[in-house]
Amino acid sequence: MQKLSNKDILKKFIPSIEHKDFIFNAKGKHLKLAYWEKYLIEPNKKIINKNINEAKEFTLYKKLEDSVKTVIFIPINNILGENNAYLVVYDNNKHIYNLLQNHFTTNLFIIIALIIISIYIYTLLTKI
């Protein structure tokens, strides 16, 4: 067994893009964090800081390209109930993208139908 110093342990981590008080495990293969940081993390930095400071669970999402990019933040508490870490999950979610597209299409159809009905009623009333 080999004793590790704090310096050796910290070499395995990089500063978190989500919050200044957290670090990120740099070992292994990870998503292209620069992309997520530019389009989802940086524009929502105030929301992220507020929720992390309050130790809340929360989700951010943004429609980009052909999917919805989702980031889920789940607090991890120690045995004293203090927030010591966050489990952060990044996901490309096609299901939410499809729901948003269907919602948009449905709303568009309803608006067009209401305009047509309104014009029809208007023409009926002007003939009287």
> For every one of its 128 residues, what pLDDT tens digit does the chain have, with 9 covering 90 and above?
334 355 665 666 766 777 777 777 666 555 567 777 777 888 888 998 898 888 889 988 888 777 888 888 899 888 888 877 888 888 888 888 888 899 999 999 999 999 999 999 999 998 87
Regarding pTM above 0.85, the answer is no
* 68 belongs to a structural domain: yes
DSSP annotation of 65? T
Tell me whether residue 93 is exposed, middle or buried, using C-beta atoms within 10 angstroms of its C-beta: 0 to 12, 13 to 18, 19 or more: middle
Burial of residue 25 (number of CB atoms within 10 Å: 0-12, 13-18, 19+): exposed
Q: How far apart are CA 48 and CA 41, in angstroms?
A: 8
118 in a structural domain: no
Structural domain includes residue 109: no
- Tell me which residue range forms the domain holding 68: 12-93
* The total number of structural domains that make up the chain: 1
Within-domain flag for 5: no
Answer whether residue 100 is part of any domain.
no
In a domain, 82, yes or no: yes
